[in-house]
Structure 1
Amino acid sequence: MARGRRKREPKRVLRALAEPFTVSAPAGARIRDRLSLSAEDARVLRVVGEHLGGCARADLAERVRIGRVAVKESRRAERKRALTKVSSSRWAGAITRTSEDQYQLSLRCLFDERASLRRSIVKIRQRLAVPCGQRAGGVRGYLNQAERAQKQRRLQVLIARLAVVEARIEAGRPAVVVGGRRLAKVRHHLTDAGLSEAGWRERWEAARLFLTADGESGAPYGNYTISVDPVDGTVTIVLPEPLRHLANAPRGRYRLACTVTFNHRREEWLDRVTAHRAVRYDITHGPERGRWYLDASWSTPQTVLPTPVELAAAGVRMLAVDLNAGHLAACVIDAHGNPVGRPFTVPANLTGPTSQRDGRLRQAVSELIHLAKANGCAGLAIENLGFDDARATGRETMGRGRRGKAFRRTVAGLPTARFRERVRGMAHHAGLVVVAVDPAYTSRWGGQHWKQPLQEQSKTVVVTGHHAAAVAIGRRALGHGARRRPGVTAHDQRIVQRRATGQTVPRPRACGTASPPRTTGTPHQGIKTCRDRSDQLALFPVSQDRSGRQPASPVYSDPANTGRHR
């Protein structure tokens, strides 16, 4: 019996790539200094924070009850007047503003959760429509009936969760936990978290304190509620109306016994407070170390940054960076899309406590900035990573079993948002531009077209697929394709060392009788090729003299560099 031919599956269509864009500069600045409080100062701040925290939670609950309405219908003026009686006018303004921001953020989280649930439901339904162990249209069915039954139950759970989320969106009432939902859930798992009930209670109360004062232009030193004297660094706080009996300074104010200096970006802070421009202050408490902190923040003017097209036209270099688990792969890319020098590997061990992870990430970004400046780069090229869809679909698209679970855990552990924000701020202050590109196919195309040439160029460094992906990222940031033009860089020890700058950007040919540009491997009639002392291709006519002497003819440089002879 003749065996039937297998039906050929349709070719997968590559998705369209998004255009690279310049990451905007930070819209503000934030600095921190430690408050060395006395016991009395800490007691007063805790009393004030608990009083204002209770007012803030009551106002947030009222804002949630109002629901999704226009800004003019949120009754903010009415709520502010009610809060002014138990605090002050400026404290009430900060509380109502914070409540509105918290409500809008919770709504955006609901919309994101709905989109994530919908993606998961669609993916599971697609796989359930395919018989077990088979493929149809590029969709793979589940391995066996047991897994299929589990996914059917999982689908019902996701549908129920989606109904609850849609009902909350329709009613305009998101669920908000002041102090953090994660910390609230730790209360039921104190043993696993290594906390006692008293320790958890201290963290919970510290997270629910409200000591935030919005800045005001024209007010003394930019903030009337929490004021910092730039001369001696003394901090004074306006007490709420019911707590005016705790004042130790005129006009119902409390002066702390400690001072602050703000060593980091102190000049910028002094320029604002001496000009009485708005500065916001936040007082926070870290019960883990028993420390109090004062944060100062302000908005910065927007800076017009060059676009990727302008960077490519300027002929600048870029440091392309590929984010991976445990390290960052980087490579310098010139204006023509060629890798320059050897690739770099910056270690980034992001395991351990949160404070250590952030410090290690800052150290890795600082190393990238140092490499960019040392190699004359104008900016950094990174991938616009989010992994939102990957986290939503999970096992449906990222493998199954032990290996797939390890891969999903690795992807979930990549600090994409934190890395993007750290690079954005630190690179801007270092005078570098950050260009984000579409991450699609960078690893695949980079390994296919650039891993072997990069290894031939870098003899002393072991080139990995991550370095090749960095080359693809840098080329995409400058507007070049991932594929190399064939025949430009030949597999010769001396040819590989020279730069083939004409492979990506077409150069205009010279007019007149000049010869057209020629690259390695292109046949040419009537002449031969040889190398001069500068290791460039030189063209000269064939001599009829067989004595071995070369004719006195001009030696031309490589036409691939300029497109014309010099």
Structure 2
Amino acid sequence: MGGLREVAASFVVPGPSGVAIRAGLKGLTGQDEAVLRQVGDLLGSLASRDLRVRCAAGLGHDGEQWARRKRALSGESSSRWAGSITKATHDQWALARRGQLAHIQSLQTGVETIRRRLSQPIGANGCKGAPGGYGSEREWFAKSRRLHVLEDRLVRVRADWEAGRVRVVRGGKKLLNSRHHLEAAGLTEAQWRLRWQAERWFLRADGESGKPYGNETIRITPEGEVSIRLPAALAGLANAPHGRYVLACRVRFRHRGEQWADRVTAGRAVAYRIHYDPDRNRWYLTASWQNPSVTTVPLSAVRAGGLVGMDMNADHLAAWRLDAHGNPVGAPRRFDYQLTGTASHRDAQVRHALIRLLHWSARHGLSLAIEDLDFTAEKTREKHGRRKQFRKLISGLPTARLRARLVSMAAELGITIVAVDPAYTSRWGAQHWQKPLTSKTRKPTRHDAAAVAIGRRALGCAIRRRTAPPPPHRSDAVGHRTAQARPDTPGREGPRPRVPGPRTRSVPPGRGAKAGDQCAHNRSGHTAEHEPWTQDSLPLSP
């Protein structure tokens, strides 16, 4: 047990911090689309210029430089457009820095793994979860060359990190590289150019509380009328007072429409983003706002009525209901999904599996326990070597997306999520629970047993089952119950099943013909005698 790592404490997952809803802009005229393209192209060029200035400043950027950048943009657009552009630039720069740090950590892990494996003899076995030596001299030589490549790459990335240099492509690096491989991407040059322009357009405005309908730049009334404050360079295209352009279409949010209407009516901040989908040739509008901070439910209150343990796998979610004492109740449940096809199809599969799981938990009024998974360090090929199928399996698990969707969907149904440390849940669950829960009519899998282990860890119980006492110390000769039961559970004092065997003159307790007769035992509330019995009269006075 000395090689096991310490298990982190369970915690209640906080709810989503924001909400985003989307609706289509149907019924746009040709003039409307032309205006949107011109506004997006102009603001996109300003955003590209501002991003270049921000990246050049690096770590020396301060509030004064931010103010100068905003003043430079305000002359060509407006102060509100400039504020949205500079804020988006800061978010993009910060995201690039986080990705750079994650890349450094991944390279460090790869370098340390290769060094450790090169130092071991060829063909040596691994121990305690660490990989052993390489299988052949050829592989050893190839990995020694790869070590130099990773070390050189790590030196360059560290130099960029210390200098504050980031490399950002507005529109996406993947789309940029596909320009040189149009046949492999299945695109023509015109199609690629349209996608590239659509990704680089900027039509995004942050909300302001206290302003009419929560946003002064992109304004949407409760009736669905959309109007845009045009930049100063395009003020001649306005068709409404104060330099605004009103679209001919009306917007209707089918999801959370009432919440959105309440916010805009009260003048609370709502951010909007208008974007174009070249594949469908459609325009969309996304509204988003922040949720007020709420007090997290105490973990003790979540554990009071039991919960549902859930184990995520490559093709299904395994769930099992547990009572407050950690005992499995009922039968395990399986919610299948297929991570094949397009990204939208995979996303829909995950949503359907999660909503079935959440509806089942809501019917029982229970919280949900999940693993706090993070496969960032597990995807590297340096750790798993030539196990390509296993690396592909880990990379295909949608851990981050599934958790984000689960938290947001559970918040809508009022279900609390408890995250537990994933250490040893599959191994200990199969060791302690898979065989005891197996019967003639129920064949639980290793994943079902892992769901039980996850639920017990969330409840604060040990994963190991309660060990039965030695035979001389058992209350019954055979069949001692190791599962815990509440004092008011029906049948807890009922007869044990009769065990067949040779008859002897000495019948052990609980084996005779009257094993099920409660009156045959000396227990409180039951008479031990079988003959009629009458109480003698007692004198009322001495």
- TM-score between the two structures when normalised by the length of structure 2: 0.87
Which amino acid counterpart does residue 321 of structure 2 have in structure 1?
Answer: V
Once the two structures are TM-superposed, the CA of residue 190 in structure 1 deviates from its matched residue by 1.9
What fraction of aligned residue pairs are identical, expressed as a percent?
47
TM-superposed CA distance for 1:329, in Å, is: 0.7
Cα pair 2:9 2:420 within 8 Å, conserved: yes
Query: Which of the residues 330, 347, 366 maps onto 1:358?
Result: 347
The alpha-carbon distance between structure 1 residues 291 and 541, as it changes in their structure 2 partners (threshold 3 A), is same
Instruction: Show structure 1 runs of 5+ residues with no match.
Output: 1-10, 508-516, 521-525, 553-566
Query: How far 1:498 sits from its partner (Å)?
Result: 10
Amino acid at match of 1:127: R
Kept in 1: contact 2:18–2:289 (CA 8 A): yes
Query: 2:283 & 2:531 partners in 1: Cα distance?
Result: 82
Question: Does structure 2 retain, via aligned residues, the 8 Å contact 1:424–1:434?
Answer: yes
Equivalent residue, structure 2, for 1:398: 384
Distance 1:59 1:551, change over 3 A: farther
Do the aligned residues in 2 keep the contact of 1:22 with 1:436 (CA within 8 Å)?
A: yes
Which of the residues 306, 311, 324 maps onto 2:297? Answer: 306
Q: Which amino acid aligns with 2:77?
A: S
Aligned to 2:372: 384
Residue 487 (structure 1) aligns with: 468
Report the residue type matching 1:351 in the other structure: T
Equivalent of 2:231 in 230, 240, 245? 240
SS at match of 2:135: coil
Match of 2:484 in 1: 500
How many pairs align?
505
CA 1:237–1:528: 2 relative to 1, 3 Å:
same
- Conserved 8 A contact 1:528-1:540: no
Candidates 222, 237, 262, aligned match of 2:253: 262
How far residue 500 of structure 1 moved from its aligned partner, in angstroms, is 2.5
Deviations 1:114-166 (A, max 9, x none): 11110111011000001111247665110111000111111111111111111
1:540 equivalent to 2:521? Answer: yes
Q: Cα offset for 1:374? A: 2.2
What letter corresponds to residue 418 of structure 1 in structure 2? R
Deviation at 1:229, TM superposition (A): 0.9
Deviation at residue 383 of structure 1 after TM alignment: 0.6
Match of 2:164 in 1: 172
Separation in structure 2 between the aligned mates of residue 295 and residue 117 of structure 1, nearest angstrom: 37
Letter in structure 2 aligned against 1:152 = S
Map 1:207-286 to 2 at 5 A. Answer: 207-230=199-222, 232-286=223-277
* 2:11 matched residue in structure 1: 21
Look up the SS of the partner of 2:45 in the other structure: helix
Distance 1:405 1:125 in 2: 21
Q: CA deviation at 1:496?
A: 10
Counterparts of 1:59-208 in structure 2, within 5 Å, are: 59-69=50-60, 71-72=62-63, 75-135=65-125, 139-208=131-200
In structure 2, do the counterparts of structure 1 residues 551 and 98 end up closer, same or farther at CA, with 3 Å as the change threshold? farther
Could you tell me whether the CA contact under 8 Å between 1:48 and 1:239 is conserved in 2? Answer: yes
Which amino acid is the alignment partner of residue 58 of structure 1?
A: R
Per-residue displacement from partner, 1:52-108 (whole Å, max 9, x unpaired)?
Answer: 0010011011011111136435x1111111001110110000001111111111111
Determine whether 1:439 maps to 2:439: no
Q: Deviations over 1:382-425 (max 9, x none)?
A: 1111101102xx2333352xxx2111101100000000000000
Decide whether the 8 Å contact of 1:318 with 1:333 is kept in 2.
yes
RMSD: 3.1
Q: Counterpart of 1:212 in structure 2: which amino acid?
A: R
Instruction: Supply the distance in 2 between the matched residues of 1:532 and 1:96 (Cα, whole angstroms).
Output: 86
Q: Using the TM superposition, give the Cα deviation of residue 549 of structure 1 relative to its aligned residue in structure 2, in angstroms.
A: 5.4
In structure 2, the CA distance between the partners of 1:336 and 1:248, relative to structure 1 (3 Å rule), is same
Contact 1:530 1:538 in 2 (8 A): no
Match of 1:556 in 2: none
CA distance 1:135–1:277, change in 2 (3 Å): same
Q: Matches of 2:24 and 2:98 in 1, distance apart?
A: 33
CA deviations on 1:2-49 (whole Å, 9 max, x unpaired) are xxxxxxxxx760011111111111111111110012222111101100
Give the Å deviation of 1:487. Answer: 2.1
1:374 aligns with 2:360: no
User: Structure 1: how far apart are the matches of 2:175 and 2:447?
Assistant: 37
CA distance in 2, matches of 1:30, 1:240: 26
Segments of 5+ residues of structure 2 without an aligned counterpart are 488-492, 497-506, 534-542
Which whole-Å CA distance do the structure 1 matches of 2:60 and 2:394 have between them?
38
1:67–1:233 CA distance, 2 compared to 1 (3 A): same
Contact 1:329 1:344 in 2 (8 A): yes
Change (3 A) 1:12 1:279: same
Q: Which amino acid aligns with 2:112?
A: V
Do residues 324 (structure 1) and 313 (structure 2) align? yes
Q: Give SS of 1:450's match.
A: helix
Cα drift, residue 307 of structure 1: 3.3
The 1:318–1:550 alpha-carbon spacing in structure 2 relative to 1, beyond 3 Å, is: farther
Q: How many Å separate the matches in 1 of 2:414 and 2:385?
A: 41
Task: Please say which structure displays the higher CA radius of gyration.
Answer: 2
Q: Which of 445, 448, 453 matches 1:467?
A: 448
Query: Is 1:426–2:417 an aligned residue pair?
Result: no
Distance in 2 between residues matched to 1:269 and 1:186, nearest whole Å: 38
Q: Matched residues in 2 for 1:326 and 1:302: separation?
A: 35
1:305 to 1:374, Cα distance in 2 relative to 1, 3 A: same
2:47 alignment counterpart: 56
Do the aligned residues in 1 keep the contact of 2:466 with 2:482 (CA within 8 Å)? no
Q: Structure 2: which amino acid aligns with 1:380?
A: L
| TM superposition shift of 1:184 | 1.5
Partner of 1:450: 433
CA distance in 1, matches of 2:480, 2:45: 69
* Contact kept? 1:317, 1:376, Cα under 8 Å: no
Alpha-carbon deviation of 1:501?
2.8
User: Partner of 1:3 in structure 2?
Assistant: none
Structure 2 counterpart of 1:439, one-letter code: P
Question: Measured at CA, do residues 549 and 71 of structure 1 come closer, stay the same or move farther in structure 2, by a change above 3 Å?
Answer: farther
Tell me, what secondary structure is at the counterpart of 2:60?
coil
Amino acid at match of 2:399: T
Q: What does residue range 491-530 of structure 1 map to in structure 2 within 5 Å?
A: 500-501=484-485, 528-529=509-510
SS across alignment from 1:281:
strand
- Distance (whole Å) between structure 1 residues aligned to residue 60 and residue 310 of structure 2: 44
Q: 1:192 to 1:537 in 2, by over 3 A?
A: farther
Task: Assess, with a 3 A threshold, how the Cα gap between structure 1 residues 115 and 441 changes in structure 2: closer, same or farther.
Answer: same
Aligned pair in 2 of structure 1 residues 69, 91: CA closer, same or farther (>3 Å)? same
Instruction: Flag the 1:163–1:551 CA change in 2: closer, same or farther, 3 A.
Output: farther
Once the two structures are superposed, residues 357-383 of structure 1 have per-residue CA deviations (whole angstroms, 9 ceiling, x without a partner) of 111111111001111022331x11111
CA shift in 2, pair 1:422/1:229, >3 Å:
same
Match of 1:413 in 2: 396
